Structure 1
Amino acid sequence: MYVCVIFLNVLKIFDTLNKDKNILFIRNLESKLDFELTTMRTILIIGAGRSASSLIQYLLNKSVEENLHVIIGDLSLALAQKKTNNHPNATPIALDIFDENQRRNAVQKADVVISMLPAHLHIEVAKDCIVYKKHLVTASYISDAMQELDEAAKANNLIFMNEIGLDPGVDHMSAMKVIDEIREKDGKMLLFESFCGGLVAPVSDDNLWNYKFTWAPRNVVLAGQGGTAKFIQEGAYKYIPYVNLFRRTEFLEVEGYGRFEAYSNRDSLKYRSVYGLDDVLTLYRGTIRRVGFSKAWNMFVQLGMTDDSYSMENSENMSYREFVNSFLPYHPTDSVEIKMRLILKIDQDDIMWDKLLELDLFSRTKKVGLKDATPAQILEKILSDSWTLQPHDKDMIVMYHKFGYVINGEEKQLDSKMVCIGEDQTYTAMAKTVGLPVAMAALLILNGKITTPGVQLPIRKEVYLPILKELEEYGVVFNEQSMPYVGYNPDKVFS
């Protein structure tokens, strides 16, 4: 519409000029405007949640030079409108992903579709992209259902880029860059460890847990569930069941930011095939937290508060104190506090106890307010009272890779570290490191720089080299340090 207004104003200005010259100018201008309108490329973003802030901002900032029209679809039209901020090259729409006609109409208008929906909802969008021959970009892990579309995507010369956020995403790209460089020097990989975590920035670290929710709180509460952690160390397979997960941690040091710990991710072994590390001796992936978090979190695990498999009776009217007491043995005289300390074997002057008190777990007045809620849902509600990012808060992303390798008979190690600090509650480091790679991949696909079709993740040079380079312009920089290789078994003794 704004193009039409400009066009009409031009007509008025030239109304008094020579008629023949006026007509010629108008025809030339009309031809130019028609060309611009027909060549404008459209990107559809489905989902305008917290992870989409930096993604939308990036594409709108690029919209003029790249001739982009960005459609932002969300169930909440108000949210989509807020994210577009009245930008002339953006169109906010109300989009119900379960409304097939509405969804398909939106997909048809796009050249590239970006789905920022929960992972299990991508598949219907992906099927529409096959039907209407549209490229697709998501930040989520490739599901079995998504992988089944690989042949159809290739047959239609479509790129379905997945796992292109932070973790997965930036971790894949930064890892493959170094692994490929080592292989190009005829090196052989001995060890690969990768750690990542979304944390609160030091300037906003104001609670005893040294943690706030920077991403989906539910994922934090359920972390580590659904299977035993599996990895390999010095050629030996290792397993950690969920009940022990938060007491088996690795320690890391990041210059300028201090010490961290990391607990194991669920299945590190699958990355042998992803990265081509079938013969590697050590392969471990973990989630980063500040030292002491895992030990404290283990209290909730041992009590059963992270269980999401059943609903609690009368949860809506339950106080926080009653919720806690539900997991403690009955005693006619002992208080909830005493029973809690006894069962967890913690003293009154223990920092673990202070951490529990800080969450106001024993409040008689605060109500759960959730009907038929699971323990995990209730715990999430309680933690959200204390761990929600405030408008002035800044978050922090820490990623740490360790590469052990042998080259020309000499064993070496390279550590690669990245720290990114967010701006505020909206433009978080998490939104930046998830959203920017998604946006950059979409633009590279649109511009014909990424050409390999099919369902894929970003482990090819045509993907990771330009994206990692551009990310550096936005402060997402990996600092590499070489050192002697030690590994976990310097004396070569099997255990």
Structure 2
Amino acid sequence: MSKEKKILAFGAGKISKPCVQYLLRRGYKVMVVDQFEQNVLRTAGGHPNAVPVVGNAVAEPEKYIREFAPDVVVCMLPTAFMAQTAKKCLDEGVSMIGASYAKEPVRALDAEAKAKGLRILCEMGVDPGIDHMSAVHKIKEIQAAGGEIESFVSVCGALPDLSANNNPIGYKLSWAPESLVGASLRDARIMTDGAVREMNGGTTYQNPSFMEIKGLGWFETYCNADSIPYLEAYGIDGATTIERGTLRYPGWCEMVTHMQKLHIFDEEPRDFGGYTYAALTKELCGMAGDGRGAKACAAEFLGVEPYSTSIMKLEWLGLFDEKPVMPANGSLRDMITAIYGQKLVFEPGEKDIVVMQHQYVVREKCGARKRVTSTMVDRGVVSEESAIARTTGLPMGIGAHLAASGAVKGTGVLIPTTEDIYVPALEELGREGISFAEHEEEA
């Protein structure tokens, strides 16, 4: 690069290092701002072109924008701060890249960004992000050959690798426990054979399916968020089925559904002083005065046997323990968040795995029908980076590079479903070792 290009990175959490190190390898000067010194030092990695700064990017992003004068800002702050950071970037005349969904109030910034010739490129992570780019790339390829997409089903999961899948829950945290708990009541909307289905308030967990990932085995999937807008976004308005979902090891949905019935995810503040987990569970079952133990009460309330897998999972989480509830003041959601944060953790030497699979049912030009399956598997590297960090951080770094180099043609609030973004981004991801394997069969 003839002129030194500069990127300003807000946030230096778990996903930041692959993003920042990619940009440093590309020759950018990168300022990294985070409130914790150990985070910025880890992310910067001692690189001579990295500028680690301990500061509050949430409270005063404009300070760092003015000081560093970046070509592009990468926002790796929690989703709650995406919109306000994007607005500050527009105020300061700089484009921004992020991994969060392009929802309101970010969408509301579209007209201002276009008027200023700036870009707020959202959904540039793994899911959303790599899912969009890989899907649209394949869809355009199929359509260019005269094929029509009848059905599109996409799933993604960040899980413990099989070698680290050593707790009864079959899950470990690769993101904040608050986000995992919040997703337990999320709405979902899909289309199946032309009929739109809405699953509100977490009822999506009552409608799981099994899916085989070749070479890995069978997994449980459940639909998440609203799939319908992607008929237009992906250019497949004629499809009669579209589903976007999450991948888990089997048994997750039953456990979450049972927790829902126990109201474990309620946000109402409570005083848990004097409660044990066992006493609280019995109360949630409406059996506070029952002489039996919490396990038997929960099994009866949920309509399952005490030896059922779900009951044993709740037992492993500690919901039947004669120990004081923590935190003593908070909500049931706070309680389960704390339990997840304590129990569902990766130990040193363990690695994660990110799995994404798209299935397309295609009507070919000749009239024949086929099923195309595209699968991405990325494993973390012990003592280096997790798979979720790589697959989330690298797309953001690549997006920042594309924006800073002038490759992104559009302005406004964008997602990576246009050729100027997804073609070079997928090529770059391939060079970084992230790609899809495909196979076809008759449908």
**TM bin (shorter chain):** over 0.9
Matches within 5 A, 1:157-236: 157-227=117-187, 229-236=188-195
2:44 corresponds in structure 1 to 84
Measured after TM superposition, the shift of residue 320 of structure 1 is: 2.9
Matches within 5 A, 1:72-471: 72-100=32-60, 103-108=61-66, 109-227=69-187, 229-242=188-201, 244-308=203-267, 310-314=268-272, 318-329=275-286, 330-365=288-323, 367-369=325-327, 371=329, 373-408=330-365, 409-424=367-382, 427-471=385-429
Cα distance in structure 2, aligned partners of 1:160 and 1:98: 17
1:423 is paired with a residue of what secondary structure?
A: coil
Amino acid at match of 2:259: F
1:49 and 2:8 aligned:
no
Q: Which runs of 4+ in 1 moved over 6 A?
A: none
Contact 1:53 1:426 in 2 (8 A): no
Cα distance in structure 2, aligned partners of 1:338 and 1:331: 13
How many pairs were matched up? 439
Measured after TM superposition, the shift of residue 410 of structure 1 is: 1.9
Gaps of 5+ in 2: none
Contact 1:318 1:369 in 2 (8 A): no
Cα distance in structure 1, aligned partners of 2:210 and 2:100: 27
Amino acid at match of 1:398: V
Contact 1:440 1:467 in 2 (8 A): yes
Contact 1:50 1:426 in 2 (8 A): no
Amino acid at match of 1:380: T
2:4 corresponds in structure 1 to 40
Amino acid at match of 2:283: S
User: After superposition, what is the alpha-carbon deviation per residue over 1:303-327, rounded to whole angstroms, capped at 9, x for unaligned?
Assistant: 110223x112236x64333442331
Measured after TM superposition, the shift of residue 75 of structure 1 is: 2.0
Amino acid at match of 1:175: A
Amino acid at match of 1:297: V
Cα distance in structure 1, aligned partners of 2:42 and 2:338: 26
Contact 2:278 2:322 in 1 (8 A): yes
Contact 2:30 2:50 in 1 (8 A): yes
- Please, what TM-score do these two structures have when normalized by structure 2? 0.93
Amino acid at match of 1:273: E
1:353 is paired with a residue of what secondary structure?
A: helix
Cα distance in structure 1, aligned partners of 2:324 and 2:426: 46
Moved more, 167-176 or 343-352: 343-352
1:473 corresponds in structure 2 to 431
Amino acid at match of 1:176: V
Measured after TM superposition, the shift of residue 391 of structure 1 is: 2.0
Amino acid at match of 2:13: G
Structure 1 370/168 Cα, relative in aligned 2: closer, same or farther at 3 Å? Answer: farther
- Please, what TM-score do these two structures have when normalized by structure 1? 0.84
Structure 1 318/279 Cα, relative in aligned 2: closer, same or farther at 3 Å? Answer: same
Contact 1:304 1:327 in 2 (8 A): yes
Amino acid at match of 2:4: M
2:24 corresponds in structure 1 to 60
Structure 1 77/300 Cα, relative in aligned 2: closer, same or farther at 3 Å? Answer: same
Contact 1:51 1:434 in 2 (8 A): yes
Measured after TM superposition, the shift of residue 280 of structure 1 is: 1.2
Measured after TM superposition, the shift of residue 352 of structure 1 is: 2.5
Measured after TM superposition, the shift of residue 433 of structure 1 is: 0.6
Measured after TM superposition, the shift of residue 60 of structure 1 is: 2.7
Q: Between Structure 1 and Structure 2, whose CA radius of gyration is higher?
A: 1
User: After superposition, what is the alpha-carbon deviation per residue over 1:386-426, rounded to whole angstroms, capped at 9, x for unaligned?
Assistant: 21111211111111111112122222221111111112476
Gaps of 5+ in 1: 1-34, 486-495
Cα distance in structure 1, aligned partners of 2:159 and 2:116: 41
Cα distance in structure 1, aligned partners of 2:183 and 2:54: 32
Measured after TM superposition, the shift of residue 366 of structure 1 is: 5.2
